[in-house]
Amino acid sequence: MSTEHDDLLEDLLAGKHRALARTISHIENRAPGYRSLVSALSAHTGSAEVIGITGSPGAGKSTLVDKLAETYRERGETVGVIAIDPSSPFTGGAVLGDRIRMASTVGDMDVFVRSMSARGTLGGLSTATADAVTAMDAFGKDKIIIETVGAGQNEIDIVRTADTVAVLVPPGSGDAVQTLKAGILEIADVFIVNKADRPGADRTVQELLEMIELGEGSGFASVGVGHHGPDAVADLEQGDTEADVDDEGPETWTPPVLETVATKGTGVDDVIDECRAHRVHLEATGSLAARRRLRHAEEIRTLLRSDVHRLLEAELEAQGGVTGLAEAVRAGETDPYTIAQDALEPLEACLEERSLELDVEPVSK
């Protein structure tokens, strides 16, 4: 690790805000050497509770996060917030507006709010977020809240990073609940019907309750609703259709449906209590360890995927660049399979040799 990073690490552990801010910048930028910095930080983590907040755009995520942070502070706990907003696919630019809503804790440096853009979305979002969580954890934050972009394709990512996932559902959106059913509702540990003073809130609560109840029935357990063990995610990721049948009993967490009015702070205490209850549940059942294992497994895979991808890109470059090869395919001289096989061959040979020697899979740095 470079001296610069040594200093940064030391300052961060000493509680300097600037060092934490700079560390997260290095993580976002994939600055040279950031990996060893994150590795060093990892040794100092493990105490923070990580809560993910997701939901459709305008559901009130930022406002709720603001109130959660305020309430945690009243309870004497330090808070880190990571707020993610989308970036332009054309210019890479972004306007990060979540911070505007987070005014309740202004002037209190023990609430560390960091806006991140979803730059480099391909696998990068989850990695950078997870690394930023690591930095905040090492810094000593008691609670870390991740606010996702308005729910889209990234909604499953948050499961990999957070211990507890709260999904905000706006009221009066019966149809929306239906459409959400297949995706985002499956990852919720806590449901929050925000803007509960609006018409239609009761109905939305009722619909969610019915959906959860259905999910708990034996017939529905296999589709994942109401099944919130880490396996649910694993199943989802690996396309494993085999249902986990021992879903009943004390091991099962039934997601509560809470009502909040974030702008007024109504119901925020309930959210905090239920998140705490979920965390206790995770610890008691051993699910926490399982969740974290899953998270780390995914991190390892993501890192390897991007590393191998880069190695092979370089190999393609060495063979004259992908454009030239593509032209050769177009001209009918060769085909994509042959090219891919040629590029991969040295890597395969290398791995084979090494697994013979060591009987392990190599990890590239």
Residues lying near other proteins in the complex (CB under 8 A) are found at 16-18, 21-22, 24-25, 28-32, 34-35, 87-88, 91-97, 99-100, 103, 106-107, 109, 112-115, 117, 119-120, 124, 306-307, 310-311, 364-365
Strand runs labelled E in 237-361: 257-259
Beta-bridge partner residues of 54? 167
Looking at beta carbons only, is 66 or 189 nearer to other proteins? 66
Q: Which is nearer to other proteins, 80 or 224 (CB)?
A: 80
Q: Compute the least distance from the CB of residue 106 to other proteins, in Å.
A: 5
Helix (H, G, I), strand (E, B) or coil at 165: strand
Q: Would you give the DSSP letter of residue 256? A: P
Q: Cα–Cα distance between 145 and 143 in angstroms, integer?
A: 6
| CB atoms inside a 10 Å sphere around CB 284 | 11
User: Do 112 and 48 form a contact (C-beta atoms < 8 A)?
Assistant: no
Q: Is the Cβ of residue 57 or residue 92 nearer to other proteins in the bound state? A: 92
H or E element in which residue 289 lies: helix 287-318
Least CB distance to other proteins at residue 92 (A): 5
Closest distance to other proteins from the beta carbon of 280 (Å): 30
164/128 Cα distance (integer angstroms): 19
Pick 8 or 180: Cβ nearer other proteins: 8
Residue 8 or 212 having the CB closest to other proteins:
8
The contacts of residue 208 (CB under 8 Å, 6+ apart) are: 169, 177, 185, 191, 193, 257
| Residue linked to tokens 């954890």 | 137
Give the nearest distance from C-beta 244 to other proteins in angstroms: 37
Burial of 18 (0-12, 13-18, 19+ CB in 10 A): exposed
Quote the least distance from Cβ 312 to other proteins, whole Å. 13
Cβ proximity to other proteins: between 94 and 290 the closer is 94
Question: Least CB distance from residue 184 to other proteins, whole Å?
Answer: 26
